[in-house]
């Protein structure tokens, strides 16, 4: 599969996936059924369990559609399997399934299924984003073009064919710049270049990555855009009939200046001024409108400097991995319950985040190689204000750092009286962890 959402995410073993037999939902009598929701997920997602729990709280039946060949549906114990890289075939598979098993809403957990969900929901008359908007939220080039045309603050950008001569392009762009793929996520393949030599090296590295992933040389483009200095934040929001409701703004206290852009710590509530936060929300609302997003969760990345907020990217899905677990609303309501309530048009009691400071650290991969062991987890877990440490990559697994990699070693979670204390707890806990990663020796024979 070419494109899945991997921000805040690692790849679990098959036994850890959301589609194990004990999680299967039984269908009630068709004449007196509960509301039923189709959840489109990839085998590598961590999010399905949270949605299943939210559905149980709401007495909603979950049907899972998994990004796999249809022939593997029985083996993985899922009701529906379809190849998400073939949007037309996957959409038809969903429509055929729903014809016999009606659903009340369709939710895509990862980027790879947002277009499919939008197409199927549009055909069925269910709440959805326009398919064109779902496509724009996945294609960074199209996204940039639409935002720029609408006057949304975003970097100056240009598209170039992957088959181009990088030395020739290097003479046309301004520095510093950022070289990025159009569709990969989680900062994968995103590289900063400060001069022509760095640009050529970045271009060649991205080209090798894309070709290794199966992208065709003749028809693949890349994006080159001006580097925007400043601090970076993430906004988690909910769109209803085109209106943006801000659920949380996360600060990213570690500088994201390159050459690679590995996200580590998220803390909330934001420590930026109320005025700046309002400007961020306005910028994201304008960006969503510019590409046509109107319904459901949205996750946006924004840079902020002395000139105000600048859009980096916006997605038509919620935050990835286990990061959503630090968010609670009202009387213990989780983000996934809000998303389900919105999709099913159930009442939303409150969208106000509850609790003081909270934070999550996506544990970075310090170098590529074979992960032999992890030490210090108990000590990290005992750090004051730390609520959990989860190492999601098992020992004796090969790991790859950015820009080629697409995962993290795990997550650290913290809650405190304020976000600064939560951040300090995350850093203290991370300092207790020791990772034995050894080079992978290639056998020649």
- Dist. CA 353–CA 12, nearest whole Å: 29
Asked whether the CA dihedral 268, 128, 339, 350 is positive or negative, the reply is positive
The number of angstroms, rounded, from the C-alpha of 201 to the middle of its chain's C-alpha atoms is 27
d(CA 168, CA 50): 48
pLDDT score for 139: 96
Q: Which of 84-93, 351-360, 434-443 has the highest mean pLDDT?
A: 84-93
Residue 389 CB contacts under 8 Å (≥ 6 apart), including other chains: 377, 380, 381, 410, 411, 412, 413, 429, 433
When pLDDT is cut at 50, 70 and 90, the band that residue 312 belongs to is very high
- pLDDT at residue 4 greater than cutoff 90: no
How confident is the model over 369-415, as pLDDT tens digits? 999 999 999 999 999 999 999 999 999 999 999 999 988 999 999 99
Q: What is the pLDDT of residue 19?
A: 38
Helix axes 114-124, 87-100, angle to 10 degrees: 40
Q: Give the pLDDT confidence score for residue 115 in this predicted structure.
A: 96
Q: Is 439 exposed, middle or buried (0-12, 13-18, 19+ CB in 10 A)?
A: exposed
**Three-class DSSP category at 285:** helix
Residues sharing a CB contact under 8 Å with residue 106, sequence separation 6 or more, in sequence order: 37, 38, 40, 94, 117, 120, 121, 124, 126, 128, 343
Nearest to 440 by CA among 336, 335, 379, 369: 369
- How far apart are the C-alpha atoms of 368 and 406, rounded to whole Å? 12
pLDDT over 90 at 300, yes or no: yes
* Whether residue 21 has pLDDT greater than 90: no
**How far is it, in rounded angstroms, from Cα 329 to Cα 352?**
6
Closest to 37 measured CA to CA, from 54, 21, 15: 54
Beta strands at 308-315 and 296-305: parallel, antiparallel or unpaired = antiparallel
Helix 140-149 and helix 131-138: axis angle, to 10°? 110
Q: What percent of the chain has pLDDT over 90?
A: 81
- If you average pLDDT over residues 290-316, what whole number do you get? 97
344: preceding bond cis by omega (within 30 degrees): no
Predicted pLDDT at 58: 95
Mean pLDDT of the region 66-89: 92
In DSSP terms, 195 is beta-bridged to none
Answer whether residue 144 shows pLDDT above 90.
yes
Looking at every residue in the chain, the average pLDDT score rounds to 91
Q: Determine the Cα–Cα distance for residues 312 and 76; give it in Å rounded to an integer.
A: 37
pLDDT score, position 321 = 80
Select from 256, 295, 287, 281 the least CA-distant residue to 144. Answer: 287
For domain 156-226, the CATH class is alpha beta
Does residue 170 surpass a pLDDT of 70? yes
Structure tokens at 269: 């509530």
Alpha carbon 364 to chain centroid distance? 16
pLDDT at residue 11 greater than cutoff 70? no
pLDDT surpasses 60 at 445? no
> Is-cis flag, bond preceding 259, omega within 30?
yes
pLDDT higher for 349 or 347? 347
pLDDT at 23 over 60: no
Range with lowest mean pLDDT among 14-28, 129-143, 170-184: 14-28
Question: In the chain, pLDDT over 70 holds for what percent of residues?
Answer: 91
Looking only at the bridges linking them, the beta strands covering 369-375 and 397-399 are antiparallel
Q: What does the pLDDT read at residue 80?
A: 95
* pLDDT for res 33: 67
Tell me, what's the pLDDT at 94? 97
The CATH architecture that domain 14-129 belongs to is: 3-Layer(aba) Sandwich (3.40)
Confidence band, pLDDT 50/70/90 cuts, at residue 444: low
At residue 77, the pLDDT reads 87
From the candidate CATH numbers 1.10.3720.10, 3.90.1170.50, 3.30.1490.190, 3.40.309.10, the one assigned to the domain spanning 356-445: 3.90.1170.50
Task: Classify residue 84 as left (phi > 0), alpha (psi -120 to 50) or beta.
Answer: alpha
Domain boundaries, the chain: 14-129, 156-226, 356-445
Q: pLDDT (tens digit, 9 = 90+) per residue, 242-289? A: 999 999 999 999 999 999 999 999 999 999 999 999 999 999 999 999
pLDDT number for residue 122: 97
Q: Quickly count: other Cβ atoms within 10 Å of residue 225's Cβ.
A: 21
pLDDT band at 32 (very low <50, low <70, confident <90, very high): low
* Residue 262 Cα to chain centre, angstroms: 13
Measure the CA–CA gap between 91 and 408, rounded to whole angstroms: 31
Quick check: 360 pLDDT over 60? yes
pLDDT at site 442 = 62
């Amino acid at each position: 599969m070419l494109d899945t959402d991997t921000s805040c995410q690692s790849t679990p073993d098959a036994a850890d996936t959301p589609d194990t037999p004990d999680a299967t939902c039984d269908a009630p009598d068709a004449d007196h059924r509960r509301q039923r929701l189709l959840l489109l997920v990839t085998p590598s997602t961590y999010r399905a369990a949270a949605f299943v729990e939210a559905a149980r709280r709401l007495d909603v039946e979950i049907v899972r559609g998994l990004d796999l060949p249809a022939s593997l549906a029985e083996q993985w114990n899922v009701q529906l399997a379809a190849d998400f890289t073939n949007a037309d075939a996957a959409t038809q598979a969903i429509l055929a399934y729903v014809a016999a098993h009606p659903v009340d809403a369709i939710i895509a957990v990862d980027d790879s299924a947002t277009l499919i969900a939008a197409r199927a929901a549009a055909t069925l008359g269910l709440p959805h984003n326009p398919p064109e908007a779902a496509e724009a939220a996945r294609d960074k080039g199209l996204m940039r073009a639409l935002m720029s045309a609408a006057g949304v603050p975003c970097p100056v950008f240009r598209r170039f064919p992957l088959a181009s001569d990088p030395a020739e392009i290097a003479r046309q762009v301004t520095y510093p710049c950022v070289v990025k793929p159009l569709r990969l996520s989680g900062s994968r393949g995103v590289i900063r270049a400060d001069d022509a030599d760095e640009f050529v090296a970045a271009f060649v590295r991205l080209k090798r990555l894309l070709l290794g992933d199966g992208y065709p040389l003749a028809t693949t483009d890349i994006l080159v855009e001006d580097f925007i200095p400043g601090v970076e934040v993430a906004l988690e929001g909910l769109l209803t009939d085109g209106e943006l409701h801000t659920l949380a703004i996360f600060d990213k206290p570690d500088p994201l200046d390159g050459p690679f852009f590995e996200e580590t710590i998220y803390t909330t509530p934001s420590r930026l001024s109320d005025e700046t936060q309002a400007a961020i929300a306005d910028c994201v609302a304008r960006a969503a409108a510019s590409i046509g997003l109107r319904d459901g969760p949205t996750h946006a990345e924004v840079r902020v400097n002395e000139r105000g907020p600048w859009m980096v990217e916006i997605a038509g899905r919620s935050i990835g991995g286990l990061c959503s677990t630090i968010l609670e609303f009202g009387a213990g309501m989780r983000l996934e319950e809000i998303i389900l309530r919105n999709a099913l048009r159930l009442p939303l009691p409150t969208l106000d985040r509850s609790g003081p400071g909270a934070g999550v650290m996506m544990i970075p991969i310090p170098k590529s190689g074979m992960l032999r062991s992890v030490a210090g987890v108990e000590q990290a877990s005992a750090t004051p204000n730390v609520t959990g440490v989860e190492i999601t990559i098992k020992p004796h697994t090969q790991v790859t750092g950015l820009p080629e990699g697409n995962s993290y070693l795990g997550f650290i979670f913290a809650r405190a009286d304020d976000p600064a204390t939560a951040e300090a707890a995350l850093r203290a806990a991370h300092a207790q962890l020791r990772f034995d990663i050894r080079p992978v020796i290639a056998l020649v024979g």
